[in-house]
């Protein structure tokens, strides 16, 4: 089975812009979670989608949003980018229950 894929892998944006990141889960997986990884804050949960519904959300401002499509692919959007949004954004998929989450390679975002 193909693993979790994320696009793009690298991205450079400037403050104030917005960005959309994409995640394709492992075939058959219906849950997609998003995490932000920074040297200062570590790995932090952003949100999780299952069957196109957001089931849980972390403590991030409303500038961070996401959605999931009927084929389980997910996108996250960050509007009005700030310097502090520079991070590795990881998505993870699982079948749907509390099983192991499998992580994609990540999108490294640099905000200048």
| Contacts with another protein, residue ranges (CB under 8 A) | 31, 33, 35, 42-45, 48, 50, 54-56, 58, 90, 92, 94, 98-106
Helix, strand or coil, per DSSP, at residue 95: coil
For another protein, the closer CB: 17 or 90: 90
Q: In the complex, what is the shortest distance from the CB of residue 69 to another protein, in angstroms, rounded to a whole number?
A: 18
**DSSP-assigned letters across all residues of 26-82:** PTT--EEEEEEEETTTEEEEEEEEETTEEEEE-S--TTEEEEE-TTS-EEEEE-S--
Closer Cβ to another protein, 14 or 54, answer by number: 54
For the bound state, the minimum distance from the C-beta of residue 82 to another protein, rounded and expressed in Å, comes to 22
């Amino acid at each position: 089975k193909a693993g979790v894929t994320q696009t793009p892998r690298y991205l450079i944006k400037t403050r104030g812009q917005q960005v959309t990141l994409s995640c394709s889960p492992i075939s058959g997986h219906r849950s997609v979670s998003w995490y932000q990884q920074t040297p200062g804050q570590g790995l932090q949960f952003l949100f999780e989608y299952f069957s196109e519904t957001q089931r849980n959300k972390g403590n991030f401002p409303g500038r961070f949003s996401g959605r999931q499509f009927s084929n389980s692919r997910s996108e996250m959007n960050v509007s009005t980018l700030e310097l502090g949004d520079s991070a590795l954004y990881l998505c993870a998929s699982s079948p749907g229950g509390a099983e192991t989450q499998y992580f994609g390679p990540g999108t490294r975002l640099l905000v200048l």
